[in-house]
Amino acid sequence: MQRGSSERELAARWEAEAVAVTKALAAAEQVRVDSGAAGEPERKTPEEQPKDPAPAQPRAAEEGDARVVPRPPPTLPLAKPQAARARGLCPHGKPRSKGRGGRRSSGRAADEYHSQRPVTVDSSKAKTSLDALKISIRQLKWKEFPFGRRLPCDIYWHGVSFHDNDIFSGQVNKFPGMTEMVRKITLSRAVRIMQNLFPEEYNFYPRSWILPDEFQLFVAQVRMVKDGDPSWKPTFIVKPDGGCQGDGIYLVKDPSDIRLAGTLQSRPAVVQEYICKPLLIDKLKFDIRLYVLLKSLDPLEIYIAKDGLSRFCTEPYQEPNPKNLHHIFMHLTNYSLNIHSGNFVHSDSTSTGSKRTFSSILCRLSSKGVDIKKVWSDIISLVIKTVIALTPELKVFYQSDIPAGRPGPTCFQILGFDILLMKNLKPILLEVNANPSMRIEHEQELSPGVFENVPSLVDEEVKVAVIRDTLRLMDPLKKKRENQSQQLTKPLAAKEDPSDSEPASASDGNTDPEAHLPSICLKQVFPKYAKQFNYLRLVDRMANLFIRFLGIKGTMKLGPTGFRTFIRNCKLSSSSLSMAAVDILYIDITRRWNSMTLDQRDSGMCLQAFVEAFFYLAQRKFKTLPLHEQVASLIDLCEYHLSLLDEKRLVCGRSGPAGVRPLDSGSPPDSTPSAPPVEGHPPSCTNSAPKAAHSGHALS
């Protein structure tokens, strides 16, 4: 009994002391508020003083990190006194703000850090473009890491290919597969597919044959044309597949003159019709190097530089004849060849010399009454159509190197388009360079055999602008700065403390870090002109079907099971096309294409073989239509059946166990499939069927 009574007495004493302390604190607070003392809050007893959490240890400052003075984080109490909360006071006794509170200052500090820190660029693999890149980074006031960096950078600048370095985040200036895609044979095959579908739209690329595989076809077609027109005396140009800078290029008048022996078996080549009537300036042949930025693959974004370079031959031009076929300084415009000519003229003027700006050529043509807008329009059309021909297989390369759902960088790339203007001003595509030279100096011979690198003002004017403005377009922090600027310029709430708006007004004068730079020299041409060219993207839609049925992530070739699944899911088999016939079709086409390609790493059907099989199926099913309408109709039919399949799987997934996601679904739930095209008749509207849902993330 005594023990119970002592416990009750002790509890009563503690309760009385707690009430007394609470009343004393309340009275002191009331006196402070009544007297208007808004300055220093009352001191709390050690028991009531909240303990600050241990501050996080700052990491060691690293070279290149933004030099922003770190602000201490706001003190966060472990417990908030109920009395202070009830009176609208913060835990330290200060009146609460009626706006969005003190937490906004810490968020703003983080935003200011991200907007103020410079963009970081890893230039350790830049190689020959390093000098122009350094100037561009300096003009942008960004931070360069010439020897790499332990921490990830925002942008990685590679000199050769996507695989120059192992990148798992950020942005890299190369697309996987681009080097392979612009090789002369691969480019010719890609353009040939488009020429079969749209011959009039792709007549800017000379007729091409692949050697040695198509040598007999080349001989037969030339003989047939000559028999029909005895006056036709063509000239052909032979270009090694992996050649660059004019290496191994030569001209012939007859197929029998082609050097079949020796290295042709191990070093395939492309033979093309030679353009015998080019536009001449100062009696010299010249070509145009235009710089094209492929900013994104899906969605497709293309930019063209407003200026380029014109490279001149160094010997007056004459039409090819047996006596001058070997005059490379007359027929070949390659800078790397003509620089060794005694007639090569180095000039710091943009309108004279053996290398000039393209804008100076346009000014000269304009003074002679040439419609420059028409010339530019034709060049833009050529560039867009060429990129459309390349993108299908680039998508296959991309999903192989950066499969959906795995970490990886986003990509962009500067391409060099070599274009020749004919005498009638029609542009002709010569080739596409995945790694156009970005050197801004040239070699000057001081004495026999002694050379020195001398700055080239013409190169610097064009190339630095292209690299700098490419970086501006790819700036990963630009959106953050724009969002912050929009937030700071919004009118604050009427009840917000005026002191909170002071930082916004203070930073308004420094919202545009590019104010000191010239206007961007890159002009967007796609999707700006997408409506005029989207009808050409049939092979792109075929590539989406191909990727959908690849099955294994990272592969680039379709196996026999995947091809059979494609036929079955798209309802393409019939009494006239049994699955046994499908297997034979797969084997025949795959075997032939594998014998033509040098890459034997994977077995199976490549994209170009799939396109050939697709053409065959389209011609069987829609016999009375032109080829491009046959293909479009079959694509619509495939996408229609796949959308039905996706919708069925989606419904089954919803009705199945909770949390179970159906495989290979991707169509929107409210999509309504349109009717399939009737066999033998064109669809009511191309692209009317919903696009086939496949696992494809943004390829940028």
Q: Which carries the bigger pLDDT value, residue 610 or residue 111?
A: 610
Residues 6+ apart with CB under 8 A from 526: 300, 301, 302, 384, 387, 533
Task: Centre a 10 Å sphere on the Cβ of residue 337 and count the other Cβ atoms it contains.
Answer: 19
The per-residue pLDDT for 105 is 46
Closest among 358, 362, 363, 328 to 343, alpha carbons compared: 328
Q: Tell me the pLDDT of the chain averaged across its residues.
A: 80
The per-residue pLDDT for 248 is 84
Q: Identify the weakest region by mean pLDDT among 288-292, 385-389, 685-689.
A: 685-689
Asked if residue 400 lies in contact with residue 556, where contact means CB atoms within 8 angstroms, the answer is yes
Asked if residue 473 lies in contact with residue 302, where contact means CB atoms within 8 angstroms, the answer is no
Q: Identify the weakest region by mean pLDDT among 107-116, 277-286, 372-381.
A: 107-116
The per-residue pLDDT for 181 is 94
Digit-coded pLDDT (tens) for 471-504: 999 999 887 777 776 676 665 555 555 544 444 4
Digit-coded pLDDT (tens) for 186-227: 999 999 999 999 999 999 999 999 998 899 999 999 999 988
- Amino acid residing at 91: P
Digit-coded pLDDT (tens) for 81-118: 444 444 444 444 444 444 444 444 455 555 555 557 89
The per-residue pLDDT for 227 is 87
The conformation of residue 596, written as its DSSP 8-state character, comes to H
How does strand 280-281 pair with strand 269-273?
A: unpaired
Q: How confident is the model at residue 454 (pLDDT cuts 50, 70, 90)?
A: confident
- Residue 14 predicted with pLDDT over 70: no
The per-residue pLDDT for 8 is 66
Asked if residue 237 lies in contact with residue 428, where contact means CB atoms within 8 angstroms, the answer is no
Average pLDDT over residues 653-677: 51
The per-residue pLDDT for 697 is 40
- Residue 317 predicted with pLDDT over 80: yes
Closest among 468, 421, 429, 527 to 192, alpha carbons compared: 429
Alpha carbon distances (Å) from 596 to 192, 212, 608:
16, 10, 11
Q: How confident is the model at residue 680 (pLDDT cuts 50, 70, 90)?
A: low
How does strand 410-411 pair with strand 171-172?
A: parallel
Helical H segments across 48-90, by residue range: 82-86
> Which residue pairs from 197-205 have beta carbons closer than 8 angstroms and sit at least 24 positions apart in sequence?
197/536, 197/538, 197/539, 197/627, 197/628, 197/631, 198/536, 198/628, 201/385, 201/536, 202/385, 202/389, 204/382, 204/385, 204/426, 204/427, 204/428, 204/429, 205/386, 205/428, 205/429
Q: How confident is the model at residue 698 (pLDDT cuts 50, 70, 90)?
A: very low
Q: How confident is the model at residue 595 (pLDDT cuts 50, 70, 90)?
A: confident
The per-residue pLDDT for 258 is 83
Digit-coded pLDDT (tens) for 239-264: 998 777 777 899 999 888 887 655 55
Asked if residue 609 lies in contact with residue 591, where contact means CB atoms within 8 angstroms, the answer is no
Residues 6+ apart with CB under 8 A from 202: 191, 194, 195, 385, 389
Q: Which residue has the tokens 């999707």?
A: 527
How does strand 269-273 pair with strand 236-240?
A: antiparallel
Residues 6+ apart with CB under 8 A from 682: 622, 625, 629, 632, 633
- Amino acid residing at 452: E
How far is 128 from 647, CA to CA, in rounded Å? 52
Counting every residue written for the chain, the total comes to 700
- Amino acid residing at 330: M
Q: Identify the weakest region by mean pLDDT among 5-9, 573-577, 582-586, 621-625.
A: 5-9
- Residue 555 predicted with pLDDT over 80: yes
In sequence order, what DSSP letters do the residues of 225-236 get, joined into one string?
Answer: HHHH-TT----E
- Residue 506 predicted with pLDDT over 50: no
> Which residue pairs from 613-616 have beta carbons closer than 8 angstroms and sit at least 24 positions apart in sequence?
613/563, 613/585, 613/586, 613/589, 614/542, 615/196, 616/585, 616/589
Q: Identify the weakest region by mean pLDDT among 155-169, 300-314, 452-466.
A: 155-169
The per-residue pLDDT for 560 is 94
The per-residue pLDDT for 492 is 52
Task: Centre a 10 Å sphere on the Cβ of residue 688 and count the other Cβ atoms it contains.
Answer: 15
Q: How confident is the model at residue 70 (pLDDT cuts 50, 70, 90)?
A: very low
How far is 93 from 129, CA to CA, in rounded Å? 61
How far is 258 from 214, CA to CA, in rounded Å? 13
How far is 401 from 164, CA to CA, in rounded Å? 13
- Residue 294 predicted with pLDDT over 70: yes
The per-residue pLDDT for 515 is 80
- Report the helix count and the strand count for the chain, using DSSP H and E: 20, 19
In sequence order, what DSSP letters do the residues of 634-665 get, joined into one string?
Answer: HHHHHHHHHHHHHHHHHHHHHHSSTTPPPTT-
- Residue 57 predicted with pLDDT over 50: no
- Residue 45 predicted with pLDDT over 90: no
Say what angle helices 579-596 and 560-569 make with each other, to 10 degrees.
Answer: 130
pTM for this model (two decimals): 0.76
Q: Which residues pair with 250 in a beta bridge?
A: 238
Q: Which carries the bigger pLDDT value, residue 24 or residue 673?
A: 24
Task: Centre a 10 Å sphere on the Cβ of residue 250 and count the other Cβ atoms it contains.
Answer: 18
Q: How confident is the model at residue 26 (pLDDT cuts 50, 70, 90)?
A: low
- Residue 652 predicted with pLDDT over 80: yes
Task: Centre a 10 Å sphere on the Cβ of residue 696 and count the other Cβ atoms it contains.
Answer: 16
- Residue 520, classed as helix, strand or coil, is coil
Structure tokens at 543: 């590539």
The per-residue pLDDT for 284 is 96
Q: Identify the weakest region by mean pLDDT among 202-206, 308-312, 400-404, 497-501.
A: 497-501
- Residue 523, classed as helix, strand or coil, is strand
Residues 6+ apart with CB under 8 A from 321: none
Q: Which carries the bigger pLDDT value, residue 358 or residue 166?
A: 358
- Amino acid residing at 185: I
Count Cα neighbours of 145 within 13 Å in the Cβ-side half-sphere: 21
